Structure 1
Amino acid sequence: MRLAQGIVIEKNKTFGTLKFSALRREVKITDEEGNVTEQIKERTYDLKSKGQGRMIQVSIPVSAGTKDFDYNAEVELVNPVADTVATATYMGADVDWYIKAENIILKKTLNNGHPSSKSNNDKK
């Protein structure tokens, strides 16, 4: 089976509450000759995931801008996708999972400070 666009994730069930931690790394573009340039392709951030019970890393494109939220600020992912990269080994392959999203945004809250939870009834 080939999933060219990755596996679409149901955010709330998969990640639960997400809290911002820090920028982990910036991935730079490699030119045609294999040299690493100074141009940034994407940024990877550490987020605390209550649903996973651990820190997760999420990569977003540079076009989403730099994220400099407060530590432990509640955030959400825009269109997250899980995918894999396989590396051939002598005995088969090693597979690494990664998560990409279009953006990481602050979770919207109501005036009383609690996270908003819109239902289908709110679309009037």
Structure 2
Amino acid sequence: MRLANGIIIDKEKTFGVLKFSALRREVHIQNEDGTVSEEIKERTYDLKCKEQGRMIQVSIPASVPLKEFDYNTEVEIVNPVADTVATATFQGADVDWYIKADDIVLKNKNGQPAGNNHAPNNPQQPQHKK
């Protein structure tokens, strides 16, 4: 059983302050013959979660560069979604929750994600005289 699109999360109410801990694991893509390839599908990170009172794991796509923040650095997750996987048992079902996000970014002093605060990549070129 899976939720169709996951559950959208109110980050502040659900997580409060998040602090980076470490890379937990890398999930590799499986080859057609069942062997594990060298290609990474996603990375899961441990984050200290103040509101939950424990460590949480957040998975982001491998297309996002490896995160190597300092321990206890305040971070924010971008577009988090909670989802479930249920496994039938003889007494009902076991349900596992997981959190996926688009990215994990540093949180700046104003409480907003540290983003692209510099000049655009395409500044006007100076005119050269002929």
Flag whether TM exceeds 0.5 (same fold).
yes
Cα distance, 1:100 vs structure 2? 0.4
- Specify the alignment match of 1:16 in structure 2: 16
| Other structure's SS at 2:82 match | strand
Distance across 1 between alignment mates of 2:112 and 2:67: 21
Distance across 1 between alignment mates of 2:3 and 2:85: 12
> Which stretches of structure 1, 4 residues or more, deviate above 2 A after TM superposition?
none
Distance across 2 between alignment mates of 1:93 and 1:35: 29
TM-score normalised per structure 1? 0.85
What CA deviation, in whole Å up to 9, does each residue of 1:44-82 have, x standing for no partner? 000001110110000000011100000000000000000
TM-score normalised per structure 2? 0.81
**C-alpha root-mean-square deviation of aligned residues, in Å?**
1.8
Structure 1 stretch displaced more, 18-27 or 101-110 = 101-110
Distance across 2 between alignment mates of 1:35 and 1:95: 27
Q: Which runs of 5+ in 2 are unaligned?
A: 114-130
Identity of aligned residues (%): 71
- Specify the alignment match of 1:105 in structure 2: 105
The structure in which a higher percent of residues are helix is 1
- Specify the alignment match of 2:52 in structure 1: 52
What CA deviation, in whole Å up to 9, does each residue of 1:72-108 have, x standing for no partner? 0000000000000111212221110000000000002
What CA deviation, in whole Å up to 9, does each residue of 1:5-24 have, x standing for no partner? 10000000000000000000
- Specify the alignment match of 2:75 in structure 1: 75
Count of aligned pairs between the two proteins: 113
Cα distance, 1:33 vs structure 2? 2.3
- Specify the alignment match of 1:85 in structure 2: 85
CA separation of 1:92 and 1:116: change in aligned 2, threshold 3 A: closer
Bigger Rg, which one: 2
Q: Which runs of 5+ in 1 are unaligned?
A: 118-124
